[in-house]
Amino acid sequence: MKKLFISVLAVAFVFFIMEGCNNTATEHKTEDKTVKKEQAKAGEKTEKLNKKEQAAAPETVPAGETKATAADQQPVVKKGQKIKISTEYGDMIVLLYDDTPKHRDNFIKLTKEGYYNGTLFHRVIKDFMIQGGDPDSKNAKPGQRLGMGGPGYTIPAEFNPEHIHKKGALAAARKGDQMNPEKRSSGSQFYIVEGKKYSAPELNNMAKRTHAIYTPEQINTYQTIGGTPFLDTQYTVFGEVVEGLDVIDKIASVKTGAGNRPVKDIKMTVTLINE
């Protein structure tokens, strides 16, 4: 959990455009012009630095999360885009949600680049989730600490009360709240929920902490299918497994070692499904 709450120090820039007050006094005219020129130069310099930071800021990623600013990527995508995550345990077909466009578009972009191919499900916890998306996991040595890699940017949170952490939910890993109060998502690391079933009283108690408000249908989902409701309103859910839920169970059941890394590497290949 500590690594998942895995939980990026988000960087926000606020610009104040200051207009100098006109002074009719002759002795201040020259000084006013100089000040305005200096303010204009400072504003231009700050704007350039901001754009550079937004394009590709360096990242520091404890526990599988990133620190930086989201890259401005606007790929053209179709609605209802699905992806296939292939492993030796089988394939998972995942539907990406259209109402979380930043996460959807980023995942599609990385998939087209082959970013995930050869990476591992490097963190697996039974009755909880399976996590992957760390580029450093490619060709990782046995026992190597993983969960610190990423593309160098984060993504703004896209919370939607309709998308809960039910079994099969695809969600973004992130840095913890103390360093990431905006709950920005990792640029590449994700997890897929296995979870377990919860009773209505248990859900009510969790909702008091997370401030989640569940519909009768969502309560029924957690009671019959299961999930990880304690993560609701905290991490962005941006898709769900629509085929291959059994693959999640198979992967979640493997033997793991230090850092919840599977003893035997579980590599993935991620491709777009063009229907």
pLDDT tens across 64-84, in order? 443 444 444 454 567 899 999
| pLDDT single digits (tens) 106-115 | 999 999 999 9
| Domains and their CATH numbers in the chain | 62-273 (2.40.100.10)
Q: Of the candidates 168, 171, 186, which has an alpha carbon nearest to the alpha carbon of residue 93?
A: 168
Whether residue 146 is predicted with pLDDT greater than 80 in this model: the reply is: yes
Q: What average pLDDT does range 123-151 have in this prediction?
A: 95
| pLDDT single digits (tens) 53-66 | 333 222 323 444 43
Return the pLDDT at 3. 39
Provide the total of helices (H) and of strands (E) in the chain, helices listed first: 5, 9
Q: List residues bridging with 196 in a β-sheet.
A: 227
Cβ atoms of 158 and 106 within 8 Å: the answer is no
Whether residue 27 is predicted with pLDDT greater than 50 in this model: the reply is: no
Q: List residues bridging with 170 in a β-sheet.
A: 192, 239
Whether residue 20 is predicted with pLDDT greater than 60 in this model: the reply is: no
Distance CA 110, CA 121 (A): 16
Q: What average pLDDT does range 200-205 have in this prediction?
A: 94
- Copy the structure tokens of residue 136: 């450093």
Task: Please give the radius of gyration of the chain, using alpha carbons only, rounded to the nearest integer.
Answer: 22
What does pTM read for this prediction?
0.74
Lowest mean pLDDT among 53-57, 87-91, 131-135, 202-206: 53-57
Instruction: Give the SS3 label for residue 76.
Output: coil
Return the pLDDT at 214. 96
Residue count of the chain: 275
Cβ atoms of 19 and 76 within 8 Å: the answer is no
Q: Of the candidates 132, 235, 145, which has an alpha carbon nearest to the alpha carbon of residue 185?
A: 235
Whether residue 191 is predicted with pLDDT greater than 60 in this model: the reply is: yes
Question: DSSP character for 97?
Answer: P
